[in-house]
Structure 1
């Protein structure tokens, strides 16, 4: 752990600022929580590789002063898998949006979880495709408006936590941008975990989702994260079981990490050739 005071500028590429996120977007809060987590863990910037695909969330890979890959839509986890297998000592972190994670990238998501490869997947859930014009996503849910659903959506949404758990992720958590310190603490645990970690962070898109669905501006949407969520097992659930639960749902250290298990296979194969 480091005792050096946190300075945002130590971890970013200033030439790419000011950022291009819309006013009120929650992604900057996610970036802040991530950088504070890295700082408190005392990680060297050369130990980290950030891999992203395409979308609002994917801008993070360009903003941070780490090793970074800005790749193609939905394939961030595949690129990160290649990096991790070739350089297993690196900390692989993948910030993703709705589509990168669970639409075009859905197949990669479940298999990365199944393999239990040591990657931290941050699913920034704003329930909309913000960068490309406000289309509905696998996380929008039914009864919502979007540019591609002017008469409301009928598709049900994925539950990121339940999907990650079912696919075999060994660390699964959820928080919101309102709970920025909680996000930071969860991300520290996720990055330190030896296995596939999924952290869903509820983040607002006032430009498209909030405006079209009459959920107010950025402040009102963040207040919604305060009132509509609660910690896992809270007594508040007795009065309102529809509250979204926050916290760490899975933290399993018993499952072998993929790169380590693969190294054992290589050792066995090399012994056979001797």
Structure 2
């Protein structure tokens, strides 16, 4: 008996969103980027904002994101996506602007850009892929690399005295008054992918409502950089990444207005 006799063609459901084209992605097997691309395409399609959305992608594994999702894109220098997104959003306030960045980009060379853009409350969505390594350039240590984690530049594992602590950039972003929604998600299971999709949708809805900066971290795998199979990488992420980078919302509200901000500071000083 052939497979076609067991599964009827009319019962097959092909759920690829229309915005995700048929070009073959360049990502490694098991990479989380492809899943996040699909979720982004689904959200933009559901909100019917294809013609209003502009993505900004800098240097990194996702540098060719414009090849896969059929919306307007703008390239940015390494780490500078939030600055580029700020300019696009201010000149075109009717557009929905988002950046798509990795940890070697956003949490390293781009730290100043993201911190100040979020602190100003720029009306953008930031999608932050954290796989704790420089995936594109050879698997070097990133700011988010865990203590003891082996990379190309830490062959004996990340050492606290030599390399410092891993950077929890999302917790820092959550403290800034210009942010409205800050969350950490993953896409390693169907259930986690659904939760990530929901988070992305909320972030884009916030941008449409002019609520300030929304920040969605996606804790991800890098099978090639970690030298693991996709299945092993998922297990390693669950055992090592999630305890240090816990999944869930960090902030959900609106950016602080001048009044609320100064009242809060005054209260803190009085205490």
TM-superposition CA deviations, 1:118-177 (whole Å, max 9, x none) = 111011001111111111101112211111122222231111321111233221001111
The equivalent residue for 2:251 is 250
The question of whether the paired residues in 2 share the 8 Å contact of 1:52 and 1:71 is answered with: yes
State whether structure 2 residue 204 is matched by structure 1 residue 191: yes
Report if the CA contact (8 A) 1:6-1:36 is conserved.
no
Q: Deviations over 1:36-78 (max 9, x none)?
A: 22223x2231110000100013332332111101221111111
Distance change in 2, residues 1:102/1:226 (3 Å): closer
What is the match of residue 75 of structure 2? Answer: 70
**Which residue does 1:207 correspond to in 2?**
224
Equivalent-residue separation in structure 2 for 1:52 and 1:183 (angstroms): 19
Could you say what the CA RMSD is over the residues aligned between the two structures, in angstroms? 2.2
Q: Is the 8 A contact 2:185 2:247 kept in 1?
A: yes
What TM-score comes out, normalization by structure 1 length? Answer: 0.78
**Alignment partner of 2:63: what SS?**
helix
In 2, the alpha carbon distance for the partners of 1:146 and 1:227 equals 18
The residue aligned with 1:32 is 38
1:245 shift after superposition: 2.8
Check if 1:133 corresponds to 2:138: yes
State the aligned residue count.
234
- Residue 10, structure 1, aligned to residue 18, structure 2: yes
Gaps of at least 5 residues in structure 2 are: 1-12, 259-271
Distance 2:87 2:67 in 1: 19
Q: Post-superposition shift, 1:13?
A: 4.4
Aligned to 1:161: 170
Change (3 A) 1:142 1:81: same
Helix, strand or coil for the counterpart of 2:48?
coil
Matched, 1:182 2:195: yes
Structure 1 segments unaligned to the other structure (5+ residues): 231-241, 258-274
CA distance in 1, matches of 2:205, 2:84: 20
Which secondary structure does the structure 2 equivalent of 1:103 belong to?
helix
1:219 aligns with 2:219: no
Aligned residue number for residue 121 of structure 1: 126
Task: Tell me, yes or no, if the aligned pair for 2:168 and 2:245 is still in contact at 8 Å.
Answer: no
Structure 1 position 251, deviation (Å): 1.4
Deviations 1:102-123 (A, max 9, x none): 1110000100110011111011
- Structure 1: distance between partners of 2:112 and 2:44: 28
Residue 171 of structure 1 corresponds to 181
Cα deviation digits, residues 254-273 of structure 1 (max 9, x gap): 5359xxxxxxxxxxxxxxxx
